[in-house]
Copies of this chain bind each other. A is one copy, B any other.
């Protein structure tokens, strides 16, 4: 099948992330496997600087974020040609602990075709190049979380 006819979903939304719906929308008749990553707001962080989080506030440069999500999907398809459907969703706004904030899902006919690796690659790339930021609000104050990745030309 041509990549253009394969389902690819990008979304930046203030609504709840519905895993059932998203997986269904990237399932074809030939699909037998889906690997899905979701990230949630951690209320308690132990690694690094131990701290509590009251909530996170997400914002995005929406039109560019949508284009970069498309780029992440294109990169996934270029690397794993068995991938059938891709969904990339970022929830923005004020999000409380235990709430899913992001989803990457990839489907394929079989599980040994790169679906797991593709989902992992997708979340890693989203955190590198998709223009979204989060501000952490905790009992001790608020601060912007900053990533570390510096995009290169062509990214």
A interface vs B, CB < 8 Å?
18-20, 23-24, 27-47, 97-98, 100, 109-111, 116, 119-120, 123
Chain B residue contacts of A45, Cβ below 8 A: 30, 32, 109
- A20-B18, A116-B120 known; A33+B40 contact, CB < 8 A: yes
Instruction: Please report whether the interface of chain A is mostly helix, strand, loop or mixed according to DSSP.
Output: mixed
- With contacts A29-B42, A33-B39 known, what are 14 further pairs, Cβ within 8 A? A19-B20, A19-B23, A23-B100, A27-B98, A29-B44, A29-B97, A31-B40, A32-B39, A33-B40, A37-B116, A47-B110, A111-B123, A116-B116, A116-B119
Distance, CA A97 to CA B32, complexed state (A):
9
In the assembly, what is the distance between CA of A38 and CA of B23, in Å?
9
Contact residues in B for A119 (Cβ distance below 8 Å): 35, 116
Copies in the complex: 2
Q: In the complex, which residues of chain B have a beta carbon less than 8 angstroms from the beta carbon of A33?
A: 37-40
- Ranked 3 nearest A-B pairs via Cβ: A29-B43, A19-B19, A36-B36
Q: Given A109-B45, A120-B116, A37–B34 Cβ distance below 8 Å?
A: yes
A119–B37 Cα gap in the complex (Å)?
Answer: 10
Set of chain B residues within 8 Å of A31, measured between Cβ atoms: 40, 42, 98
